[in-house]
A and B are shown apart, each in its own frame.
With several copies, the nearest count.
Chain A
Amino acid sequence: MATIAPLAQAVSQVVHDGDTVAFEGFTHLIPFAAGHEVIRQGRRDLTLVRMTPDVIYDQLIGAGCARKLVFSWGGNPGVGSLHRFRDAVQNGWPTPLELEEHSHAGMANRYVAAASGLPFAVLRGYMGTDLPKQTANIAPITCPFTGEVLTAVPALRLDSAVIHAQRADRKGNVQLWGITGVQKEAVLAATRSLVTVEEIVDELEPRPGAVVLPSWVVDYVAEVPNGAHPSYAHDYSTRDNDYYQRWDEISKDRESFRTWLEGVA
């Protein structure tokens, strides 16, 4: 059963130094507030995992929380590049960042394998690309029935997963809707999980397209209204596109980023 707790306590229980951790979300429902709390708590040596690392990952990387990034597309959606990510990869600032790079299909299937308790997943993927040369985590596999050669990727087991959702009830059952991405898989792939929610309600009335994560697969729930800002929560808020534009400016040089970082702490 999930424990309902304040954000700072929940983050300290769920995200530890050295964790392989995902803050998932596909443009929608990005758990920014929890990410900022991780920065405040000074977590280090994280292996950050995400299909679409965006501004919150740029912030975590710039703040020196990460040693490795496992991902498939890193950018500022609709704006351009992630400057802190680039600075870490190209110049090792503030610390070097190891990369493990996949395609979206590969990452999604790695989450599926972990959520399914399997050591690997099979897909038609990566064929003819240079991606398999850069990691041992892409391998050929032969169909035992047809002899066809496909691609295997290992399960993406997480120490911790953090997502944002619209609602939870008082028992800790979680409900999210709109674009739900790989959030269910990330929670089911993790040993520990935290869900920040817009609000805690008495009853989760059914919603079209909603995913419900039962309380018994969630460890912590924290009520954080607008906890996805500048991302959005479908039916609660809209995306703050100006923030993403401003981030391009803030993150372009180390000084303005440092000033921003002091504001978080």
Chain B
Amino acid sequence: MTDYTADEMMTVAAARALTDGSVCFVGIGLPSTAANLARRTHAPDLVLVYESGTIGSKPATLPLSIGDGVLADSADSLVSVPEIFNYWLQPGRVDVGFLGAAQLDRFGNINTTVIGDDYRDPKVRLPGAGGAPEIAASCREVFMIVRQSPRAFVERVDFVTSLGFGTGKGDRERLGLKGRGPQLVITDLGVLRPDPDTCELTLTQLHPGVDLATAKAKTGWDLRVSPDLVTTERPTDQELAALRDLTA
């Protein structure tokens, strides 16, 4: 069996989470790599939607940006940016919103705005919201792919750019959000899912060779662990070949 990196395991695990035939609103970077890997492996009819207005893109090479020509040329339908948000994302037509994050907290809230507690005088100015607040609000469910570290996985995000479960169960419903929120966080160490009772992100899966102590150490909050913790199946040779072909 082929050797692989932690990032490769993460991307493969993320790709596996996408069901064939479902519709995925794809953020650039790791989510796009995972979604395109899924299309090349078990989910050839996965529908990729990018916020640049491309619906049903089937890129032959991995796009570097959200606005690559290959996304337009291979799309079933190409629409304006206002239309992609208003007609396609907002009404809840999309099954999965697939996002990255600079900071993430135990309730799946996302920060991509500022590090530090003063918005007007930040320690680090991040790129900002992009499409994420409405992707996180409107998709039937949200998957995230984030490398695990105490800096990224924090007790409470410095700034809520995109809402996960807010302060816990019931917040999304109170705000009238239709989507179910973050249902899956795939990291380089394992997979977290919201606890059905509290919505707190809970470790339910460890990738092969990763020990629980590492996962806890790389989490900035007191990580809860599922009693049914399982080990991820390692990437198959076919998955790795497809991924390496894609990112070559």
Contacts and interface: CB of A to CB of B under 8 A. Distances in A.
- Verify whether A and B have any Cβ pair under 8 Å: yes
Interface of A: 1, 26-28, 51-52, 71-75, 77-78, 81-82, 85-86, 89-90, 101-105, 108-109, 111-112, 115-118, 123-131, 133-134, 148-149, 173, 178-182, 184-185, 188, 209, 211-214, 216-217, 232, 234, 238-239, 241
Interface in B24-74: 28, 47, 51-56, 64-69, 71-72
Which of B71, B134, B177 has the most chain A CB atoms inside 10 A of its CB? B134
Given A78-B28, A116-B91, A128-B160, A109 B86 contact: yes
B119 A134 contact: yes
B233 interface: no
Given A27-B67, A105-B131, A128 B172 contact: yes
B168 interface: no
Interface stretch (B75-83, B192-200, B237-245): B75-83
Contacts of B56: 173, 214
B182 to A, nearest CB: 13
Contact of A232 (B69, B87, B171): B69
Majority secondary structure, B binding face: loop
Contact of A214 (B76, B121, B160): B76
Which of A81, A82, A127, A180 has the most chain B CB atoms inside 10 A of its CB? A127
Given A26-B67, A127-B137, A72 B130 contact: yes
A217 B88 CA distance: 10
10 contacts: A28-B72, A75-B127, A77-B67, A89-B122, A103-B131, A105-B90, A128-B171, A178-B78, A181-B52, A214-B47
A188 B137 contact: no
Contacts of A74: 127-128
Nearest to A209: B78
B67 A179 contact: yes
Given A78-B64, A213-B77, A178 B86 contact: no
Contacts of A85: 125
A104 B130 contact: yes
Contacts, number: 195
Given A128-B163, A212-B77, A214-B76, A178 B69 contact: yes
Interface residues of B, number: 60
A182 B134 CA distance: 18
B133 A125 contact: yes
Contacts of B138: 117, 124
Contacts of B133: 103, 105, 125-127, 129, 131
Contacts of A178: 69, 72, 78
Given A28-B69, A77-B65, A103-B131, A181 B81 contact: yes
